[in-house]
Structure 1
């Protein structure tokens, strides 16, 4: 009993530390925006909304969704809904972040998609939203009987695509913060603070990526509270899939 309580305390402490690290880039960006970049007046500084919305969507929502099955002390059906809610919220924030940046470019006569960050960010955003929409159709219980065989076959690809998009999001964020720091350096004068912000946010993201890798190393099936009743069709589909794999 005591060991279980100690384990629960460790899990809660870990979740608290993880959430602190996940929020840190967003907090740094908000402080930097109000202290040195002119604030969040959309009519004058619509571009300042872009990094904040993107960090919230691609870091806070994406990373929380990615570890929800492995960290949260709930039953699998609840984790499934939380996982989807984070991804849906992240998708909405990403769209708003893109709208803010394109609006800023349009109102100031700037070219759209003029840098590697722009193209990488647009590609990552579109792939992420497509992955979310596709996964909602496959894994959420809108048509459970029809989707069971498809779930079995798509799940490994879903995990791989999610990991690839997580890496792509990190690269996009690092490129974007570097670009923002460079422009801020030109606009507001030479200062090491811009590169300090860039370094801290990049380091935090690398720490998150390492933490996610460690968490992901433990199979979901080995974690508590992950079992849920499965309909016979899913068991049959998994058995058939295993037989096909054995033959090939």
Structure 2
């Protein structure tokens, strides 16, 4: 894109570039390797990648390169509904930035903390008080270990899978997630029943009304050395999880005896 362009021309360039992308493979990938595709990749890297990578590193302590942001654009723009919304947007660059931001925050567990605002995202001098000390997967493993210690009768491999399931989907609206999880074959095919699934969900992601304050995953993200027993909220979450699993297993045993 020419160095001296107006805002309208910049938006027209983006819409034109996205409109020219093939919607099927392998043509989609080939377009990104063309002269137009390489120019667009460079534009996204410079315009969105630089400030976003710096801000995510400062806010969450996760190292991203500007090219990682452009690679995320490659991933999401193959989704036709995103391309369609972008073409209709009053500010397509802002829309693309927002979608990329959400995708990258999902990958690093940003939904378990205060989400970046546009000001923080693009303001180089923005103050950031908290940075995570663990990756999302590390927090999931620590959460599974804490829950396993609280309920030893719950098979550890199944517990680990259940925690990962919710961690990977924690960006969704929790009321919907909890309901759909109870009938999702990803969990039910493991032999998990409704009460077990909900018990894991509440302990890992937190329970209403303040999920983020009693979520074990959120706590371990910020401090992998966190001791749940040192927090009244998290200690109660573990105790509730233990009691729910124990009650369920007693009921199962009574049915077997009967």
For Structure 1 versus Structure 2, the TM-score category normalised by the shorter chain is under 0.3
Which of 1 and 2 has greater Rg? Answer: 2
Larger RCO (alpha carbons 8 Å, 6+ apart) = 1
TM-score by length of 1: 0.25
TM-score by length of 2: 0.25
Write 1 or 2 for the structure with the bigger share of helix. 1
